[in-house]
Structure 1
């Protein structure tokens, strides 16, 4: 926890964390971020325990965000911390810890929606060709790495979802993978024949890395444990370095690229939302902006009257 709090305030933060995890079913990352924000707020307000939470009025909330803004915090950070404060005050009001909910009056700057960098379709194809060549080294790691890149691009899944896959999550009869996403929400995502072939090639050599405790994990590290996210990130950066002119992206960049290419190919927004596991269609709409921006750049380069 980033702030040093008295015992009473620390108990409030811990109870709020349990609410976020157990009742809201938020990810560990979100719970950690929100509880850190709450600790910062309570320390700013000088709240020592539940008995003086009523000191959290709208003036304190605005003063806290104003202090953070003065220290140069980004708009995205301020937006998240404002959301954390509103979530807490609503919960505290329902619990009777606050007589009213001051968060209802709190406005925060909206985060700028920046266009994520993506690969062109030819760059994505070259990346997978690089992975195929690397897989010819005859090592289990080569086959595994090719399967990882094929699945990331074919399915547009998050890196955490990828490393969480088990062998039985793949249905090769229908070319569908069962994915557990944010909030433990399950969805089925299709993949194509190239990804199917790459994963089958990996499964054929996977037993050479299996050790006691490997369990059902689809992707294994050199010691037989479930592959971690850092290894996947290193892999993506390394392979993209071999693609001339390609931007330096991580696994999430492949997710952005998959979504953009689907829309460029004529997929409807709702289908892409379902494939990516976005709770809000507004989150998916950023990819329409990416496609429009790329079209604008092509137009400016190619049209004589641009």
Structure 2
């Protein structure tokens, strides 16, 4: 019951996305099941020792440090909520320390490789033809790399969100916060081509969602993942080939060209500058590499 009320609080008061709320639910139900099976207690009665036992059980299952850290963060939010609602007097999470997670630099695709994919030829053939599915795939890649939007934001885009006169697109981000992102000329032309093709498909259902399937239905996460992975395979051998990699690529490209960090923060829709600063590490590593290659005393 308390878990349900917490999830409703996240959805309606904190305005978290359905995906985020689902993640919280999964973590809390796993915790609740563990407490019931091992100690026959409910979460509101859990002490710090019970929570530590839960964390140890996750480690025994070889759960990654990142995933464990996320579950601990979920429990912190949950018990803070219970304290606020006067369901408990002492927060057991004050005695819990999260395991240290090694910092990982964001994975990105080099700008030259993306230009080659979107505008060049591979093995003497252009990657994209004039058919609707091919032009749809190109728009997906162009939007992710050209605006840095998240997967969830891409799926929510409507044709009416594009302002061709101003050359901008309106994006609904986390916690229902809207932001305006400029579009470069090539992306504007690509969007116009795609929308014209979409209108000529004679789909039975006139979906207002910008990105649609081959049959005209609203797009879905698995389709976007499949599109991105299949095309990035042509230019990259790295393990990560996801929509988020293109978001990282967008930010890294801007930073390498001298863009202001605060401007990148606003374009990405980050709540704080700390989330954006991770990209400066990539930039520093790139400078180190250039220095080692070019300086006579390096």
Counting matched residue pairs gives 293
Q: CA RMSD of the aligned region, Å?
A: 2.4
SS of 1:32's partner is helix
Question: In terms of mean alpha carbon deviation, does 13-22 or 238-247 score higher?
Answer: 238-247
Residues 1:285 and 2:285 are matched in the alignment: no
Distance 1:130 1:160 in 2: 29
User: Is the aligned partner of 1:193 residue 2:185?
Assistant: yes
Q: Is the 8 A contact 2:224 2:243 kept in 1?
A: yes
What is the aligned partner in structure 1 of residue 82 from structure 2?
92
* Shift in Å, 1:83: 0.8
Between the aligned partners of 1:247 and 1:128, the Cα distance in structure 2 is: 20
Aligned residue number for residue 62 of structure 2: 72
Alpha carbons of structure 1 residues 55 and 257: separation in structure 2 relative to 1, 3 Å = same
Q: Which runs of 5+ in 1 are unaligned?
A: 1-10
Residue 228 and residue 44 in structure 1: after superposition, are their counterparts in 2 closer, same or farther (change >3 A)? closer
Q: Name the SS of the counterpart of 1:179 in structure 2.
A: strand
Q: In structure 2, which of residues 138, 161, 164 is the aligned counterpart of residue 146 of structure 1?
A: 138
Matched, 1:125 2:115: yes
CA distance in 1, matches of 2:42, 2:104: 40
Following TM superposition, where does structure 1 have runs of at least 4 consecutive aligned residues deviating by more than 4 angstroms? Answer: 51-54, 244-248
**1:130 Cα deviation after fit:** 4.6
Whether the 8 Å contact between 1:123 and 1:246 is mirrored in structure 2 is: no
d(CA) in 2 for partners of 1:245, 1:105: 43
* TM-score (structure 2 length as normaliser): 0.89
C-alpha spacing 1:119/1:106, structure 2 compared with 1 (3 Å): same
User: CA contact under 8 A between 2:162 and 2:170: conserved in structure 1?
Assistant: yes
Matches within 5 A, 1:95-244: 95-130=85-120, 133-135=126-128, 137-243=129-235
Taking the aligned partners of 1:257 and 1:52, their CA distance within structure 2 comes to 44
CA positional deviation for 1:244: 6.7
Tell me by how many angstroms 1:64 deviates: 1.8
What residue ranges of structure 2 are gaps of 5+ in the alignment? none
> More deviation in 283-292 or 295-304?
295-304
Question: Could you tell me how far apart the structure 2 residues matched to 1:20 and 1:97 are?
Answer: 17
Distance 2:238 2:47 in 1: 50
Looking at structure 2, the residues matched to 54 and 169 of structure 1 have their Cα atoms a distance apart, in angstroms, of: 44
Matched, 1:13 2:3: yes
Mapped partners of 2:186, 2:247: distance in 1: 17
Q: 1:85 to 1:245 in 2, by over 3 A?
A: closer
Aligned partners of 1:20 and 1:31 also within 8 Å: yes
CA distance in 2, matches of 1:44, 1:221: 41
**Aligned equivalents of 2:28, 2:237: Cα separation in 1:** 43
8 Å Cα contact 1:166/1:217 also seen in 2: yes
Q: 2:29, 2:226 → 1: CA distance? A: 33
Q: Which moved more, 1:157-166 or 1:203-212?
A: 203-212
- TM-score of the superposed pair, with normalisation by structure 1: 0.87
Tell me the SS of whatever aligns to 1:215.
coil
SS at match of 1:189: strand
Secondary structure of the 2:126 match is helix
Moved more, 182-191 or 137-146: 137-146
Secondary structure in structure 2 of the residue aligned to 1:46: helix
Counterpart for residue 8 of structure 1: none
Deviation readout 1:216-268 (Å, 9 max, x if unpaired)? 11122111111222222222222223337777622211111110010011111
Q: Which has the higher contact order (CA 8 A, sep 6+)?
A: 2
